Homo-oligomer: A and B are copies of this chain.
Amino acid sequence: MNLEERTSLERWLGESRAWIEEGLELLLPGEEEHPAHIHRAMRYALFGGGKRLRPALCRLICTSMGGAQADALRPAAALELVHTYSLVHDDLPCMDDDELRRGRATLHVAFDEATAVLTGDALLTLAFEVLCHPSLPRATESMGCLARAAGSRGMVGGQTLDLSLESTDPEELGDMHDRKTGALFAAACEMGAMAAGAGARTCRLAGQYGQDLGRAFQATDDLLDVTGDVGTLGKTPGKDRTLSRPTFVAALGLEKARAKARDFGEAARESLKALGWGPDHLAGFFVEFVLSRRN
């Protein structure tokens, strides 16, 4: 990706971030709405930075397939609500026990543990509420896609595996990543395609692209834990190794883990070809962006 390509993708990501934050602002209950405590906590969790990659993907796929940006808004908001709830619950003392996220106190530190549990629950529930709108094309299908991706066979299943996985078998590791990260990336792309009114085959290809992109994202995460520095990463590197967490680097070594990330990126580009999208498509730059990210 040359400088101009990177600039055009970054401009596009910035626009998407502004778009989804404006949308979330409208879809969330007001900070002072009763019961105010939970509504303040929901906003604290949701408006604390974040790259908004899943909403950006959903918007990209929808508009690239000729859909209206407005039709992608509710699916994109639902995806970000699910992602945010998962971070709030992941940070809890009984899970990863993190006190900082994006340079701010995590929710259970800024509020308390009970509020963090309930806020995650409320964000997850709101995700499905925002999808129940008569204006949304194929609402039921979109909700089914999100629920499957987020549930016990998807993201929550992946988090369960992450808590107990001790094996460094690359297949088991890949299965855990597919559920924990890949499922929601895939749903972002599929829901974008659905919002554009795409047919079943096209939705499937978009989902495949999303899944491979999620794999590349997660494999890069493993690399950054070894090669990143605290300044650009925004969190402490080396945590995976300290906690003896299974990663591709632990399983394969640094060089093979790098190759694995590139392979996933290649697979994502193959799905784009099958969709008829050339190498100069923003979705292609997205692959490069995910592989070269520093945080």
Q: By the criterion CB–CB under 8 Å, are A160 and B35 in contact?
A: yes
Partner of A129, one of B151, B157, B179: B151
Partner of A140, one of B29, B94, B114, B139: B139
Q: Is A132 an interface residue (CB 8 A)?
A: yes
Partner of A35, one of B126, B140, B148, B157: B157
Q: Which of A113, A147, A158 has the most C-beta atoms of chain B within 10 angstroms of its own C-beta?
A: A147
For A132, the chain B residues whose CB sits under 8 A away are 140-141, 143-144, 147
A249 to B126 CA separation, bound complex (whole angstroms): 34
In this complex, the interface size class of chain A, counting residues with CB under 8 Å from chain B, is 35 or more
A89 to B88 CA separation, bound complex (whole angstroms): 14
Q: Which of A120, A125, A159 has the most C-beta atoms of chain B within 10 angstroms of its own C-beta?
A: A125
For A92, the chain B residues whose CB sits under 8 A away are 114, 117
Q: Identify whether the interface residues of A are mostly helix, strand, loop, or mixed.
A: helix
Q: By the criterion CB–CB under 8 Å, are A161 and B89 in contact?
A: no
Q: Which of A98-156 contact B (CB under 8 A)?
A: 112-115, 117-118, 120-122, 124-126, 128-129, 131-134, 139-141, 143-144, 147-148, 150-153, 156
Q: With A117-B95, A143-B132 in contact, do A150 and B163 touch (Cβ < 8 Å)?
A: no
Q: With A134-B140, A160-B35, A160-B118 in contact, do A152 and B125 touch (Cβ < 8 Å)?
A: yes
Partner of A38, one of B121, B125, B157: B157
Q: By the criterion CB–CB under 8 Å, are A151 and B134 in contact?
A: no
A141 to B139 CA separation, bound complex (whole angstroms): 10
Please, could you name 19 A-B residue pairs with CB atoms under 8 Å apart, sorted by A?
Answer: A35-B160, A37-B161, A37-B164, A38-B157, A92-B114, A94-B114, A95-B117, A115-B160, A118-B159, A118-B160, A125-B147, A125-B150, A125-B151, A126-B152, A129-B144, A132-B140, A132-B141, A132-B144, A133-B144
